[in-house]
Structure 1
């Protein structure tokens, strides 16, 4: 994959933070009020990919109409596989989402649309995250995003505090140096498992991010921080998504 090749050959060597422009515009969402996220991978049945895609598109509209506690909801596609990534102000918002109309409709239609049905095809693939850091994003810009990435990685024992500091600093670099990274969020799901999710208006913005300062410094420190290092711990775990629905 060209994107993975670009990411893996990024060899810039400089410090992550020199000076930053950490700001928020009038339309920037107050990011410190978002604290939770969830990711669900979905494999469609061979004959129902188009129906599952249509379901996710309708789902995003329903989330917007009925879930004030879900500020962002992404429907994603990677080849013939799909995913949902959503963010919440707090645990209450997340609980309301999972007892809401979209979750109910997905449960009802899972036997028809999802390989493994509801329990093995949806519930088993739910990953809950706590938010570690995010850029100062503008929701109007995010709603114009077309492509996204998710990277899930494990941190070596004793390196959790260092990686979290790195992720906080990285969010500042995104603000200062990456105007076409519309959304960037660092997440944690257990003691040593972290993730980065980001969204872009197009592949040019995506490529600029993966050849930028944050990617370079993560590569430079991967052997120290990341279980299995750069190639097997980061590159092998990149998901490259088309955004098919967003609210």
Structure 2
């Protein structure tokens, strides 16, 4: 049901052109300002999402990179409204129009709600309040289908995201031609069992002539 509703919602929203709004980027804030952080593993990357919630609990977060959505499962034992502050890495979800930040769409149990945002250089901080009986909050990166922007970019953006070690990517099912190394490193395959390794360029030049590693062609 979640996926079906998500698809219907995004098809409708993708027909809209988000209105660009002014951006005054602030410096990166300290992650220690937040109570908790949720980690999401998406192929080659681990996203670290700091958040703080009052009068409620976050049970799970699900990232839909293909459709540009973050689904958050929440609950509350209180009769008071829940308040959520959450930081979204720009290399994960970052809606823009004509190169400028545009707004997200935020739904609580399928109904759009308002929110406030403070933009930072490497993330966007959203604040919102919703009723105590809310079960799901969905943050949507709306886009025009014909101009679909890249989402869930595979880059190092510490402390908000980090590229996983090559062996972890490989064991999670990422094919060797899609495995990514951190900037400045070159990927080789070991001749014995074709395991991916990421080494410096100087090391690669020494290992390849010794038949220890095979350079991966990216086509």
Q: Which TM-score applies when normalising by structure 2?
A: 0.28
Q: Say which structure is richer in helix.
A: 1
- Rg comparison, structure with higher value: 2
Q: Which TM-score applies when normalising by structure 1?
A: 0.26
Structure number with the bigger relative contact order (C-alpha 8 A, sep ≥ 6) is 1
Q: Say which structure is richer in strand.
A: 2
